[in-house]
Amino acid sequence: MPGETNALNNLFGGELLARMDRAASISAKRHSEEIVVTSSVNHVSFGKAIPIGTTVTIEAKVSRAFTTSMEVYIDVWIDDDKGEKIKANEAIYTFVAVDKNGRPTKIDKILPETEQEKKRYDAALRRKQLSLVLAGKLKADDATELKALFS
Ligand SMILES: CC(C)(COP(=O)(O)OP(=O)(O)OC[C@H]1O[C@@H](n2cnc3c(N)ncnc32)[C@H](O)[C@@H]1OP(=O)(O)O)[C@@H](O)C(=O)NCCC(=O)NCCS
């Protein structure tokens, strides 16, 4: 809609980030059944511009649940001229389940079923370690899964 677009009349990136954050938070809340907060945005790719008036579908799924945090994978689809859904963007957010005082609280694990769910689940630990290293919360030497990629 007007007001949500950039100078090229495409969806403004920040609008999409907020929408993805909302969809991802619903997914994280449904899985954990707790209050959830966005802890980090690990990856965003704006692969395709989204022109004004386009129908946008945002699909968010918990790809892996750790102790208190969850990785949420977001796929963004747009309808083309024929009404077919085409992939426009994707993003990966991390949410943390918290109690009423904002303290991290334990959550249930998930069991991936489809090939895509298994692939995303397996890679999630590496992404968590990378995110923690970049945030200065984990020493690169301790990021064992991540290091294994390069050995
Ligand atoms: C998210 C928050 C509760 C985490 O608190 P914390 O003191 O860092 O807690 P911890 O160090 O115990 O980390 C909690 C979990 O988050 C994970 N985590 C923390 N920072 C992370 C990062 N940058 N990337 C990935 N995971 C991260 C930890 O690994 C841990 O996961 P685990 O329990 O599943 O192993 C706290 O930082 C917070 O309240 N942030 C503000 C959230 C907010 O307001 N979001 C809205 C955006 S404006």
CA 118 to centroid of ligand 1, rounded, Å = 24
Question: How many structural domains compose the chain?
Answer: 1
Atom number of ligand 1 nearest to Cα 38: 45
Residue 124, φ and ψ in degrees, nearest 5 = -65, -35
In-domain check, residue 129: no
- For 67-126, the pLDDT digits (tens) are 999 999 999 999 999 989 999 999 999 999 999 999 999 999 999 999 999 999 999 999
HEC string for 35-90: EEEEEEEEEEECCCCCECCCCEEEEEEEEEECCCEEEEEEEEEEECCCCCEEEEEE
- Greater confidence (147 vs 55) lies with 55
**CATH code (residue 76):** 3.10.129.10
pLDDT surpasses 90 at 150: no
- DSSP string over 89-110: EEEEEEEEEE-TTS-B------
Q: Residue whose CA is closest, atom 10 of ligand 1?
A: 104
In-domain check, residue 7: no
Q: Which of 41, 69, 139 to mutate to test the pocket of ligand 1 (most atoms within 8 A of CB)?
A: 69
In-domain check, residue 52: yes
Q: Is residue 147 very low, low, confident or very high in pLDDT (cuts 50, 70, 90)? A: confident
pTM of the entire predicted model: 0.96
